[in-house]
A and B are shown apart, each in its own frame.
Chain A
Amino acid sequence: MAESNDEIELSIADIRKLIEVIKNTYNYDFGNYALTAFKRRISKFLLNNNMYRIDELISKLSKDKSVYAKFLIDIRIEITELFRDPSFWRHFRDKTLQTLNHNYQKINIWIVNSSTGDEIFTLAIVLKECGLFEKTNIYATDLSEEILNRSKSGLFPISKLENSEANYKRFNEKGNFSDYYKADKNTFLMNGNLLTNTKFLTNDLTDNPLSKTIQVILSRNNFIYYNSILQDSITNVFHKCLALNGYLVLGIKESLIGSRDVKKFFVENENEKIFKKIDA
């Protein structure tokens, strides 16, 4: 196996060229992705597919739609584990969901960029354990059908299990994470019934994926992969989609600083990065 820090040197001009071709061919703009992470993913994609120059990738991408579909999947960054930041999930269970339960008949939660599905399965377990599963609709979105299919599969590499299980224990020390999956040598498979209230939709974050208002938007560790221009425009979309007093959740090290809508959110919890929409 190649050392995971191996990389192909790419110039900014290389990356601009690639972005231009994708924009012209597939009408999707990577121009506002955060540079370092995007560059590393491209380099990784090249190495994994035995390509050594950006021109090879550009030529294959523009001729073959299936290469682009694969590129879209691989460019996604794994969010790495289930129950990431257990203290967030405890707060979400004990405070956020209780408030929502009190105020709403039905709760709509949007998971932004479902990626490998970690947040979906985590949320479903949280909802099951506090008795709000039936009352909640989960909407999981991502760029392409192929990515959504991967999120849906519930299949995770066994290397993720130890961390996920340890996180879960910190979330609920009395529970058994093993109630929710079956493992074999290389993978573990999350129970399919955790997905019964989840709808999967493609969405590029330029508009509301749903025709209804949303009580919670879970967008943890997405902004780190976008520059501040894109971050600002997505925050604007989020604000429009949320119900008044609805919650936007970001990653622990993400913020709304620099966004034109920053004042339209109240910082509900600074440590866990929970923001409440206070201004329509």
Chain B
Amino acid sequence: MKYKIIIIGGSAGSFQVVTNILANIPKDYNIPIVLALHRLKHVRHGFVEALSLKSGLPVVEPNDKESMKAGKVYLAPSNYHLYIELAGTFALSTEESVNHSRPSIDLTLMTGAYSFKNKAIGIILSGANRDGAYGLKKIKDWGGVTIVQDPDEAQVNTMPLAAIDKTKDVDYIYKTNEIIKFLINLPKI
């Protein structure tokens, strides 16, 4: 198995896509999935529950210093940035918002790229800002695989377009069902 981490960034219009992806990932999936999704700062509860409804895999908000495990989906907690450290552990931070967001998609992607190099996969979904573009470029720079939701399919195409523009040659521009197919086949690579 070549890949060790999948990081998915999304904002406005991404919730349906994420739930759709999680509903289709098999229960024995062995690559950790990390979700950096823009969310309300002051609402601590409810989001994990909403994402869990149709997910075959457990969805959790990691505590600081928690180790990443296969078979789990990790959601960046509200009002923290989620970093991925070298040993495959999570670290949280309250540093200032990046692109007006905390969690910032860029920061999770950048730190994941640095820690997992060519074993990382970054995916950018629908969203109304430019967060994630710089991070996806970092995934590319470190040799990882970059995927962007097809701007024609995305409910809000600003974020996919920004990611495509910044990364230059994104590896795959996929519709949701193609992203799902790609992820399902991934453990066999």
Chain B residue numbers with a CB within 8 Å of A221 are 94
Decide if B42 touches A40 in the complex (CB within 8 Å): no
Q: What separation, in Å, do the CA atoms of A221 and B94 have in the docked complex?
A: 7
Segment of A123-131, A185-193, A251-259, A260-268 engaged in the interface with chain B: A251-259
* Residue A277 lies at the interface, judged by CB distance under 8 Å to chain B: no
Q: Interface segment, A62-70, A96-104, A163-171, A175-183?
A: A163-171
A95–B163 Cα gap in the complex (Å)?
Answer: 48
B95 at the interface (CB under 8 A from A): yes
Complex formed: what's the CA distance from A130 to B14 in Å?
43
Give the nearest-CB partner of B64 in chain A. Answer: A224
Task: Return the chain A residue nearest B45 by Cβ.
Answer: A271
Q: 1/0 per position for B73-92, CB-CB distance to A under 8 A? A: 00001011001011000011
Nearest-neighbour CB distance to chain B for A257, whole angstroms, equals: 8
Q: Which residues of B contact A210 (CB under 8 A)?
A: none
CB distance from B133 to the nearest CB of A (A): 9
B98 within 8 A of A: yes
**Are B94 and A80 in contact (CB-based, < 8 A)?**
yes
Stretch binding the partner chain, chosen from A31-39, A135-143, A145-153, A235-243: A31-39
Q: Does B150 contact A (CB under 8 A)?
A: no
Q: Who on chain B is nearest to A221 by CB?
A: B94
CB neighbours (8 Å) of B94 from chain A are 77-80, 221, 224, 251
Q: Do A36 and B92 touch across chains, with their CB atoms under 8 A apart?
A: no
Say yes or no: A255 contacts B63, CB within 8 Å.
yes
By secondary structure, the B interface counts as loop
Residues of chain B within 8 A (CB-CB) of A34 are: 85, 91
In the bound complex, how far is the Cα of B83 from the Cα of A5, in angstroms? Answer: 13
Nearest CB of A to B162, in Å: 12
Contact A253 B95, CB 8 Å, known A5-B104, A36-B83, A36-B85: no
Return chain A residues, CB-CB under 8 Å to B149: none
Of B77, B79, B111, which is within 8 A of A36 by CB? B111
Q: How large is the interface on A (under 10, 10 to 19, 20 to 34, 35 or more residues)?
A: 20 to 34
Q: A5-B134, A77-B93, A224-B92 are in contact. Are A170 and B42 (CB under 8 A)?
A: yes
B99–A253 contact, CB under 8 A? no
87-121 of chain B: CB within 8 A of chain A: 91-96, 98-99, 102, 104, 106-107, 110-111
Q: Mark A213-233, 1 if CB is under 8 A from B, else 0.
A: 000000001011100100000
Binding site for A on B (CB under 8 A): 41-42, 44, 61-65, 77, 79-80, 83, 85-86, 91-96, 98-99, 102, 104, 106-107, 110-111, 134-135
27 contacts between A and B (CB under 8 A): A4-B96, A4-B99, A5-B104, A5-B107, A5-B110, A34-B85, A34-B91, A35-B85, A35-B91, A36-B85, A36-B93, A37-B93, A37-B95, A40-B93, A77-B93, A80-B102, A85-B44, A86-B42, A166-B42, A170-B42, A223-B64, A224-B64, A224-B91, A251-B94, A253-B62, A254-B63, A255-B63
Chain A positions near chain B (C-beta within 8 angstroms): 3-5, 7, 34-37, 40-41, 77-80, 84-87, 163, 166-167, 170, 221, 223-225, 228, 251-255, 257-258
